[in-house]
Amino acid sequence: ATAVTLSRRIEDAEDVKRLIIEKLKYAVGKDPEHSVRQDWSAALILAVRDQLVDHWMASTRRAYDQDQKRVYYLSMEFLIGRLLKDTIINLGLEAPVREALTELGADYDEILRSEPDAALGNGGLGRLAACFLDSMSTLGIPAHGYGIRYENGLFRQSIRDGWQAEEPEDWLVTGHNWEFERPEVVYNIPFGGEVITTPDGKPIWHPAEVMLAAAYDTPIAGWRGRHVNTLRLWAGKPAKRVDLDRFNRGEYLSAMEAAVRAETVSRILYPDDTTEEGKNLRLRQEFFFTSASLQDLLRRYLSSHDDITKLPEKVAIQLNDTHPAIAVAELMRLLVDTHGLSMEVAFQLTRNTLSYTNHTLMPEALERWSLQLFGSVLPRHLDIIRWIDEQHLRTAAAAKRTLDLERVRIVDHTNGQGVRMGHLAFVGSHRVNGVSALHADLMKQTVFHDLDSLYPSRILGVTNGVTPRRWLHSCNKPLSDLLIETIGEDWIGDLEAIEAVAPYAEDAAFRERFRAAKHENKCRLVTEIQSRVGIHVSPDAMFDVQIKRMHEYKRQLLNIMEAVAQYFAIRNDPAADWTPRVKIFGGKAAPGYEMAKLIIKLINDVARAVNSDPVVGDRLKIVFLPNYNVSTAERIIPAADLSEQISTAGMEASGTGNMKLALNGALTIGTLDGANVEICDRVGRDNIHIFGLTAEDVANYRVSGYDSRAVIDGNETLKTVLDAIGSGVFSPEDPNRFRAIVDRLSYDDYFFVTADFAAYLDEQRKVDRAFMDKEDWTRRTILNTARVGWFSADRAIRDYAREIWNVETPSAEEINQ
């Protein structure tokens, strides 16, 4: 059978037509004449997916034949968005596909838009995982992404009467045509019960229940599609679908109980860390996908190796934040309980195999489980963690440093008692990385200060990056075409080559074309704004964009307060020389995060007043675009003039939207936070608008105390803005609606909004003046595009490969073999 040669290779539009018709008929079961958009979309995805399969199998074969070291990226979140357009572009098939669909009388762009946006993540961390998959495939690194196949991804946001409303997301309802179900790949996942020690001292875990993890694979192609990796997502399944005895007794619902419990594990994505409920389910989710992934990769390793002690030579496992940190204990358990190794040897292997990326310094976001909960769900793991903690304490005691031993323990015995997952991940990994230079630095100074002194040189920084395929070439065709025409297309696979466009910043004709590309993108967004929220905006105004999760530390509040100040200023003197602006916001608030939801309402209430005020006109418009996700980002980012990166310094670990926006020719207004610091270094201080407190200033204020009342009293504009918001100028139907916001800023301004207000307004007025000088503005935006090539996810992955995973990145010739 293997001698049969099958080929579905697409060479031209005729091939595409034939394949689509074949898929419509034999896979979807529809006659083209009666096919609806959904059917065309399914047929096209299936036809494109076929193009990946040969490369996919060849990639797997190469990894086995050459016994390459493999990378496993464990992440609770993969915010992959739509796959069709990017895959078609990566494979170089856009022209024939377009032509074929036109000839078949179907609308290509409409089909692209009908693909569900796979939102299996919350924000930056999940999108980073998706960009990394793209880059690992592009670089030809044999890798698997491992995660959860959530039935419902991140909730859909709608705005009702200015408030956020949440509806469940259901991306799987129309079928996920990219994936291959693998019914033969299932693993037992045990939970609960107790550990009983045998007479010869061997601990045996007797779980109270066992469920199954079932594999679903999505092939991931990188640029040019030569190497194809796998995203393997796990779905929860019951060991037994129905309890027949119960069913036969007529107890139909309870007969399904175990099935429902098992399926619940992969039912929903947690919408961020601010809800207290469901801790038990969250812990189960984490263990569920981590255990399945580790069992799977051990099976793969053992299928071609017999010495398990060589595991770290052939396997590197990256933990995306602490969410899969239970891997430390679970890998130990599998090595000891299943493969018979000693605890000591197992711990060496575990540490040499695992590494951990930290994405936040905020103490409330560092996971910690109560001993009671942890012990009831994972009793064997609690024992293993106590053992690791003992070893670790011995190291600490031997270090002869003046350390508070309680603070470095994994199991916290002081207040609350709990398992510190950050500590567990740190102690169980050979490398721990932050996601920007500043963030890695702050890790050493703050949350991991003591652990860093115990294990020096374990912490390093690997600054985040974004894939230039999706975030420039595919989402911004006008600019991509211009770049290709001007400097060729090397930058798509090697973003640092984009630097070659820098000299063109001085070329007036090129600037004109660069502006024209931006204008085209803005016109497209104008249409979308009109049709989605019914607001008319001018494409000649500055598009000022803040798109990210709603969080107090990201300070959307500072942005909307500036809008209020500007609104009053315009009303006071409408005839002055204003720089027209459209402020565009997009972002979801965690459903339980009341303050973030109130800020959304404030933005919408201010927007209502400003947008309907005839005195203001085009000088200022405010738009909140609902349901911000990967697909809307792809349309907003190419149209942005100004990128708002205004977090309280020291709180945004890196940011990645900042990179995408700069790459697409937006100037940044921002604080010296996260990767903004490095963006500033690269684009040059003249080509970015930096303002506000530094991380050091903020740290000093936290020690010395900060008096926001005094700052407010000393700033007339700030006072006016807060009085207006607090007294109901924007909410006459409910004058006290925003009292809580004003109170917070007045008495406990934890995020230093009032402290940075004056500096922010000053810098915004500089931005206004700069925007009026069209030629100089364009020159600076071109330099931004030209100089952020280093922020490619390909560069980030090369850094991980070299400094953390110790894997080779094959040459282009090797991938093409």
| Contact (Cβ atoms closer than 8 angstroms) between residue 77 and residue 359 | no
Report helix, strand or coil for 704: helix
Beta carbon of residue 359, minimum distance to ligand 26Y (angstroms, whole number): 4
* Minimum distance of ligand 26Y from residue 469's CB (angstroms): 18
Nearest distance from C-beta of residue 675 to ligand 26Y, angstroms:
7
Interstrand relation of 143-148 and 70-74 (parallel, antiparallel or unpaired) = parallel
Pick the catalytic residue: 55, 323, 431, 548?
A: 548
Least gap, CB of 436 to ligand 26Y (angstroms): 8
Q: Which is nearer to ligand 26Y, 326 or 712 (CB)?
A: 326
CA 2 to chain centre: 40
Contacts of 308 (CB under 8 A, 6+ apart): 298, 301, 302, 335, 339, 341, 349
Place of tokens 């103490």: 363
Binding mask 106-125 toward ligand 26Y (x if CB under 6 A, else -) reads: ----------------xxxx
Catalytic pick among 87, 218, 230, 656: 656
Q: Is 286 in the site for ligand 26Y (CB under 6 A)?
A: no
Tracing tokens 């000891």 back to the chain, one arrives at 336
Q: How far is the CB of 282 from ligand 26Y (least distance, A)?
A: 7
Structure tokens at 484: 């290709």
Binding residues for ligand 26Y, total number by CB under 6 A:
20
| Degrees, nearest 5: CA angle 507-512-518 | 125
Angle between helices 774-787 and 508-533 (to 10 degrees): 90
Active-site entry in 660, 689, 779, 787: 660
Tell which residue, 465, 493, 521, has the closest CA to residue 682. Answer: 465
d(CA 405, CA 16): 65
Query: Could you tell me the smallest distance in angstroms from the CB atom of residue 360 to ligand 26Y?
Result: 6
x-or-dash pattern for ligand 26Y, window 699-728, by CB under 6 A?
------------------------------
Q: Tell me the C-alpha distance between 58 and 343, whole Å.
A: 38
Shortest distance in whole angstroms from residue 125 CB to ligand 26Y: 3
557 vs 742, beta carbon nearer ligand 26Y:
557
Q: Which residues pair with 319 in a beta bridge?
A: 74, 356
Residue with tokens 């010739």: 813
Catalytic residue among 554, 555, 581, 597: 554
DSSP E strands: which ranges in 646-762?
A: 667-670, 689-690
Residue 647 or 731 with smaller CB distance to ligand 26Y: 647
Pick the catalytic residue from 17, 70, 359, 588.
359
Cα separation values, 8 from 11, 17, 55, 608, Å: 9, 12, 12, 54
Residue 270 vs 471, nearer CB to ligand 26Y: 270
Least separation in angstroms between residue 763's CB and ligand 26Y is 21
Pairing of strands 418-420, 368-370: antiparallel
Q: Does the protein bind ligand 26Y through residue 464 (CB under 6 A)?
A: yes
When binding is defined by CB under 6 A, the residue of 350, 353, 654, 676 that contacts ligand 26Y is 654
CB closer to ligand 26Y, 650 vs 655: 655
Q: Is residue 549 flagged as an active site residue? A: yes
The residues near 136 (Cβ < 8 Å, ≥ 6 apart) are 71, 73, 143, 222, 229, 797
| The residue to which tokens 């494409």 are assigned | 539
Is 70 assigned a catalytic role? no
Q: C-beta of 640: minimal distance to ligand 26Y in Å?
A: 18
Annotation says 55 is catalytic: no
d(CA 737, CA 39): 48
The stretch near ligand 26Y (CB under 6 A) out of 9-17, 577-585, 654-662, 778-786 is 654-662
Active site residue 160: no
Tell whether residue 94 is a contact of ligand 26Y (CB under 6 A). Answer: no
For ligand 26Y, give the closer residue by CB, 375 or 655: 655
Which helix (DSSP H) or strand (DSSP E) does residue 606 occupy? helix 594-611
Looking at 50, 151, 169, 367, which residue binds ligand 26Y (CB under 6 A)?
Answer: 367
* Shortest spacing between CB 130 and ligand 26Y, in angstroms: 11
Q: Which is nearer to ligand 26Y, 320 or 566 (CB)?
A: 320
Closer residue to ligand 26Y in complex, CB, 363/732: 363
Interaction of residue 674 with ligand 26Y, rule CB under 6 A: yes
Stretch that binds ligand 26Y, among 393-401, 443-451, 481-489, 646-654 (CB under 6 A): 646-654
Q: Interaction with ligand 26Y in 423-452: which residues (CB under 6 A)?
A: 435
Select from 151, 652, 749, 763 the one that contacts ligand 26Y (CB under 6 A). Answer: 652
CB 759 within 8 A of CB 666: no
What's the distance, CA 709 to chain centroid?
Answer: 37
Q: Taking CB under 6 A as the rule, does residue 273 contact ligand 26Y?
A: yes
Q: By CB under 6 A, is residue 653 in contact with ligand 26Y?
A: yes
Q: Is residue 128 part of the contact set for ligand 26Y (CB under 6 A)? A: yes
Distance CA 635, CA 625 (A): 12
Question: Does residue 135 belong to the site contacting ligand 26Y (CB under 6 A)?
Answer: no
> Rule CB under 6 A: is residue 365 a binding residue for ligand 26Y?
yes
The answer to whether 588 contacts ligand 26Y (rule: CB under 6 A) is: no
Give the whole-angstrom CA distance, residue 137 versus residue 123.
22
What is the rounded end-to-end Cα distance, in angstroms, of the chain?
24
Asked if 660 is an active-site residue, the reply is yes
Q: How many CA atoms lie within 13 A of 111 on its CB side?
A: 24
Is 656 annotated as catalytic? yes
The first and second tokens of residue 21, run together, are 């018709």
| Half-sphere exposure in the Cβ direction for 534 (13 Å, CA) | 2
The residue (of 654 and 784) whose beta carbon lies closer to ligand 26Y is 654
Provide, rounded to whole angstroms, the least separation between the CB of residue 628 and ligand 26Y: 14
Query: How far is C-alpha 730 from the chain's CA centre?
Result: 34
Alpha-carbon separation of residue 176 from 73, 82, 148, 156, 778 (angstroms)? 22, 11, 14, 18, 42
| Residue 468 interacting with ligand 26Y (CB under 6 A) | no
Other C-beta atoms closer than 10 Å to the C-beta of 373 total: 14
- Tell me which residue has its CB nearest to ligand 26Y: 124
Point out the residues that are catalytic: 359, 548-549, 554, 656, 660
Binding residues for ligand 26Y, rule: CB under 6 A, are 122-125, 128, 270, 272-273, 359-360, 365, 367, 435, 464, 652-656, 674
